[in-house]
Structure 1
Amino acid sequence: MSISVTTSEAGEVHIVHVAGEIDVTSAAVLRDALEALIADGRRRLTLDLTDVTFLDSTGLGIVVGRLKRLARHGGTMTVAVSHARVMRVFTITGLDRLLEIRSDLDSAVCAAQAPVS
C-alpha cells in the first residue's frame, strides 16, 4: 500500500500529514517530505500519523533520523498518533520517551508551539 504525504502550516509549526502504511516500500516519500522542510530551515515540525495504520522499522528509522537532524539545528518534532497499533511501535521501542507524542493533531501542534528549552 502506498502512502499520501501532504504538508500544511499552523503559525511557525509545519505539519506533515501522512495517511496509509509506512513501510520499506513507502518510507522514502516521508523521508523526502521531512528532509525538504528541514533543508528549507523549518525547525518546528509536527508529524501527523493519525491516518497511519502501520509503521515498520524503516519508517521508525526515518522519524528518528530526522528528529536527530532537527535537534542538531535546535529544532523540535512532535507526533500525533491515534491508532493503537502504531502507538505500540513507539512504546515497544522506547521512542515514546524520546518524542513528544499526542493522541490528536491539535495537541501535537500545541506542543510544537511551546518554547524550546
Structure 2
Amino acid sequence: MRTTIVRTEDIVVSCDQVNGWTVVEVDGEVDVRSHSRIREAVITLLGDGHRHFVLDLCFVPFLDSMGLGTVVAITRLIRQYEGSLRITCPSARMLKIFHLGGLGEAYEFYDSPQEATCQAPTGDGLVRWPGPRG
C-alpha cells in the first residue's frame, strides 16, 4: 500500500513495501527547491527501521547537481545503517547524469521498481560504493 510522505507544489514522495524493499517513488523535478524533501523522507524511513531502499526516479523529468548530491547524501545515510540502495531510472538522460557525475558504477540501476524488487535484499547492498563504511 503506497503511502505519501511528502506532497508539495513541486514534488510528491511516496513509499511502498515490496519484497523486503522500501520503494521510495519521487514524482517531480529534483532540484534546489525540492531535493531536501527526499532526504528528509529517507531520514524518517530510516528512523522507522527501514534499511533497504529502491529510489524510484521513473517520474523525475529533471535532476540537477543538488539532486545528485542528495542521492549521494542519502546513500551515505543508508550505508551507515548497513542498508542497500537500488535506483530505477529508465531514461538515458538520467543515467547520463549519474555517469557524468562519476557515479555510474557506484549504483545498481534497474528499469523499473518491479525489476529492482524481484529479489529480496541480501545485505550486501552498496558494495560498489567507494570508500569505507561510516
Tell me if both proteins adopt one fold, taking TM over 0.5 as the criterion.
yes
Aligned-partner residue type, residue 87 of structure 1: L
For residue 107 of structure 2, the aligned residue among 73, 85, 99 is 99
Q: Are 1:13 and 2:24 an aligned pair?
A: no
Large movers: runs of 4+ above 4 Å = none
The alpha carbon displacement at 1:16 in A equals 0.5
Which residue in the other structure is 1:54 paired with?
62
- What is the distance in 2 between the residues matched to 1:44 and 1:110? 13
For residue 39 of structure 2, the aligned residue among 8, 12, 31 is 31
Which residues of structure 2 form unaligned runs of 5+?
1-8, 125-134
Which residue in the other structure is 1:110 paired with?
118
- Note if contact 1:52-1:83 (Cα within 8 Å) is conserved in structure 2: no
- What is the distance in 1 between the residues matched to 2:102 and 2:114? 23
Which residue in the other structure is 1:71 paired with?
79
- What is the distance in 2 between the residues matched to 1:110 and 1:99? 17
- What is the distance in 1 between the residues matched to 2:76 and 2:22? 17
Aligned-partner residue type, residue 103 of structure 1: D
Q: Aligned pairs, how many?
A: 116
TM-score, length-scaled by structure 2: 0.79
RMSD: 1.5
- What is the distance in 2 between the residues matched to 1:94 and 1:102? 18
The alpha carbon displacement at 1:110 in A equals 3.0
Aligned-partner residue type, residue 20 of structure 2: E
Q: Greater strand share, 1 or 2?
A: 1
Q: Deviations over 1:8-67 (max 9, x none)?
A: 110321111111110001112211111111121211000000111110111111111111
- What is the distance in 2 between the residues matched to 1:31 and 1:54? 17
- What is the distance in 2 between the residues matched to 1:87 and 1:47? 13
TM-score, length-scaled by structure 1: 0.90
